[in-house]
Amino acid sequence: NASLLGILQHPDGTVLKQLQPPPRGPREQEFYNKVYDSDCCDSILLELREYLPKYFGVWSPPTAPNDTYLKLEDVTRKFNKPCIMDVKIGQKSYDPYASAEKIQQQVSKYPLMEEIGFLVLGMRVYHVSSDSYETQNQHYGRSLTKETVKDGISKFFHNGYCLRKDAIAASIQKIKKILEWFEGQEQLNFYASSLLFVYEGSCQATTVRLGEVTLAEKRGMPKGLLSSRDILEYNNNIHVINSTENGKIEASVGKGLSKFYALHKKAYSKRHHSQLSLKVENLEQGNVWKSSTCIAQEHLNGNVIPQLEKVFCHMPAEIKESVSVEVRMIDFAHVFPSKTKDEGYIYGLKNLITVLQNILDN
């Protein structure tokens, strides 16, 4: 994923972004220094930190002390199979000090920037079925028009099985927070800056938190998937964990307040034909679980899996909080002090929210 961003991953959980030549590199460094100044007491800048990668100063390799790198948090690190998209935001990707020829060059790269307010710079999507990544470079984003931008962005949220509506809903919530920040500040304007989107592509790490209503009632579980007197009626934590060694899915059950469902999909495509057994371990004595009521069949056969796909992929928006999604602002070589709201950036955020909401509503 580092190649998409043009940065180096460091084993300590940071990334190293080489400083661009002046004036861009020093401007970006100055921006980070200002926002992360330990003496900073400006509430607007302090809140802005929530939407940026953490900044750990600059670093130079001992062998090349004149090469300067920004040391930044690796936003993708906590993910197992990170799906990443870089979207440039704003109506202008040239700053107020750009020369006529720079303006011409930027506009010609993507003439629709003014109208759409954002541009997909690249994406990397994990496809569950093939256990591989699909990448799109900047030419992909520049080929998108007003008519095709919705489908173009929805591609980022499609894992080969289904549309990850949970990740879209969570992304919208995060962009809205950034929009609120922009609506409330008149000291900085951002040009050619991006939003970095990351969500978890592997279902192993997608743990969905549900309330006290049973999944079956609330979501309209497909008939015949689980018996009416099934696991979901009990107030327990359920972790469905794929154990690759024996090709079985094991469910370990413990008592708790809310229900957790974690599904790992990798086994499914490989083992559609084979039988997946669910083993329930009773972790407590006097357990509310009666072995007969746990799971209707000891062996769920393969045709249940596509139904599970449907249930777990199309998680509705209410449970978006639990989804592992990051949206962070990056690329600050063209950030300038200002006395007005950043209308171009705000326009881009609003349109991006609209497009994502349209994908969700369809």
Structural domain boundaries in the chain: 1-74, 75-203+323-361
- Burial of residue 99 (CB within 10 Å: 0-12, 13-18, 19+) is exposed
Reported as a pLDDT band with limits 50, 70 and 90, residue 48 is: very high
The 10s digit of each residue's pLDDT in 249-280 is 333 332 222 222 222 222 223 333 323 323 22
53 CB neighbour count, 10 Å cutoff: 21
Q: Quote the CATH superfamily of domain 75-203+323-361.
A: Inositol polyphosphate kinase (3.30.470.160)
Q: Is 55 helix (H, G, I), strand (E, B) or coil?
A: strand
- Mean pLDDT (the chain) is 76
Contact call for residues 220 and 331 (beta carbons, < 8 A): no
Contact call for residues 359 and 153 (beta carbons, < 8 A): yes
Reported as a pLDDT band with limits 50, 70 and 90, residue 14 is: very high
Strand pairing class (248-255; 276-282): parallel
Of 35-39, 119-123, 323-327, which gets the smallest average pLDDT? 323-327
Nearest to residue 288, comparing CAs of 237, 326, 236, 239?
236
Dist CA 93 CA 86 (whole Å): 14
Residue-level pLDDT at 38: 98
The 10s digit of each residue's pLDDT in 74-91 is 999 999 999 999 999 999
Beta strands, E only, 169-288: 188-190, 193-200, 207-210, 236-243, 248-255, 259-262, 276-282
Phi then psi for 215, rounded to 5 degrees?
A: -55, -40
